[in-house]
Amino acid sequence: MTDTARPIPPAFPPRCHVLLPCAGTGSRAGTAGPKQYERVAGLPMVLHTLAAFQAVPRITQCLIVIAPGDRFLSVDHPSVVLARCGGRSRAESVFNGLHELLAQGAAPDDWVLVHDAARCLVTPAQINALLDACENDPVGGLLALKLPDTLKTEAGGRVAATVDRSDKWLAQTPQMFRLGALRDALSAQADSGFAGVTDEASAMELAGHRPLLVPGSAQNFKVTYPEDFALAEAILNNRT
Ligand SMILES: Nc1ccn([C@@H]2O[C@H](COP(=O)(O)OP(=O)(O)OP(=O)(O)O)[C@@H](O)[C@H]2O)c(=O)n1
Ligand SMILES: C[C@](O)(CO)[C@H](O)COP(=O)(O)O
């Protein structure tokens, strides 16, 4: 085969897409509307999240998965796409978003970084740390945190046991995998309604992969409960 006849790979080096699942209702947050649109430090939470990824030059584009009837968000930027394909669960929203990325020309070999819209404290430095650790890895991986506290199991409201925590990590996002591999891993769980798939890594694990654990930061927490908003606001105000 001559040089001119050699097939040209779709993109080399592979592109890095971001997928923000942003179609939840935030039932634990106690807000009137979906928590990702609550104003924190002057902006709807999801726009802080988006800004962190837009500050990373290696990111090609961001796809934000919103609920079909969502009228809360409009973003006018050439590298940001709103996809109204949110599903009944986070996993379904991510699965639908992956199909949308592929339909828009992303390649199965491209990387995708999936990140909760509600994790609005992620920083460009943390995103770069994940990219650096994973871009030459055969599987990909996730930001995660070693447990800072003693871990207990419970039975009937009392301690059943103290558990060895030396091999336990708390999963965060972003989680970074090849787009096609993640689509296939989630596809295999679609018939069961994505039961047990609480993050992208768990789908990859069920497909037989062992994602890389990349140390994250305690500040990259997910805004979940009412008290989390004040902490997020304080940290964001302190940064600016
Ligand atoms: N059907 C869903 C459910 C969740 N998410 C998104 O997944 C991220 C993490 O989910 P979580 O914090 O659990 O958000 P909610 O499901 O909105 O919260 P809750 O479980 O308290 O209702 C959020 O950015 C949320 O918008 C989504 O895109 N589609
Ligand atoms: C994906 C995730 O952020 C990893 O910690 C988390 O599992 C999402 O939250 P949920 O409460 O499970 O929807």
197-225: pLDDT as tens digits: 999 999 999 999 999 999 999 999 999 99
Compute the average pLDDT of residues 36-65.
97
Residue 3's identity, in one-letter code, is: D
For residues 31 and 158, give the distance between their C-alpha atoms in angstroms, rounded to a whole number: 32
Check if 199 has its Cβ closer than 6 Å to any atom of ligand 2: yes
Question: Measuring from atom 3 of ligand 2, which residue has the nearest CA?
Answer: 172
12-239 classified as CATH 3.90.550.10: yes
3-state helix, strand, coil in the chain (%, to 5): 30, 25, 45
Task: List helix spans (H) across 109-221.
Answer: 124-134, 179-190, 200-206
How far does the centroid of ligand 1 lie from the alpha carbon of residue 94, in Å? 11
Residue 3 has pLDDT above 80, yes or no: no
pLDDT in tens, 58-104: 999 999 999 999 999 999 999 999 999 999 999 999 999 999 999 99
In the chain, DSSP assigns E strands to 16-21, 39-40, 43-44, 59-65, 80-83, 111-114, 140-146, 151-155, 158-163, 169-178, 212-215
Give the model's pLDDT for residue 7.
Answer: 52
Give the model's pLDDT for residue 187.
Answer: 98
What percent of the chain shows pLDDT beyond 90? 93
Best residue among 222, 223, 225, 228 to mutate for probing ligand 2's pocket (most ligand atoms within 8 Å of CB) is 222
Residue 10 has pLDDT above 70, yes or no: no
What percent of the chain shows pLDDT beyond 70? 95
User: How far from 141 is each of 11, 102, 111, 114, CA to CA, in Å?
Assistant: 21, 21, 11, 11
Residue 221's identity, in one-letter code, is: F
More confident residue, 107 or 7: 107
How far does the centroid of ligand 2 lie from the alpha carbon of residue 224, in Å? 10
* Mean pLDDT for all residues in the chain: 95
Question: Measuring from atom 25 of ligand 1, which residue has the nearest CA?
Answer: 24
Residue 175 has pLDDT above 70, yes or no: yes
Grade residue 162 by pLDDT with cuts at 50, 70 and 90: very high
Of all ligands present, the nearest one to the C-alpha of 220 is 2
With tokens 């726009």, the residue in question is 47
pLDDT in tens, 112-141: 999 999 999 999 999 999 999 999 999 999
Give the model's pLDDT for residue 14.
Answer: 84
Compute the average pLDDT of residues 148-157.
98
Residue 1 has pLDDT above 90, yes or no: no
Given its phi and psi angles, is residue 118 left (phi above 0), alpha (psi -120 to 50 degrees) or beta?
alpha
Compute the average pLDDT of residues 32-56.
97
Grade residue 4 by pLDDT with cuts at 50, 70 and 90: very low
Check if 25 has its Cβ closer than 6 Å to any atom of ligand 2: no
Give the model's pLDDT for residue 11.
Answer: 66
**Lowest-pLDDT range, 69-78, 170-179, 209-218, 227-236?**
69-78
Of all ligands present, the nearest one to the C-alpha of 199 is 2
Integer Rg of the chain from CA: 19
Burial class (CB within 10 angstroms; exposed 0-12, middle 13-18, buried 19+) of 12:
exposed
For residues 14 and 60, give the distance between their C-alpha atoms in angstroms, rounded to a whole number: 10
Contact 153, 160 (CB under 8 A): yes
The answer to whether the peptide bond before residue 68 is cis (omega within 30 degrees of 0) is no
Ligand 1 surroundings by CB, under 6 angstroms:
21-29, 36, 65, 86-90, 93, 116-118, 222, 224
Cα angle value 201/203/208 (rounded, 5°): 90
Residue 211's identity, in one-letter code, is: P
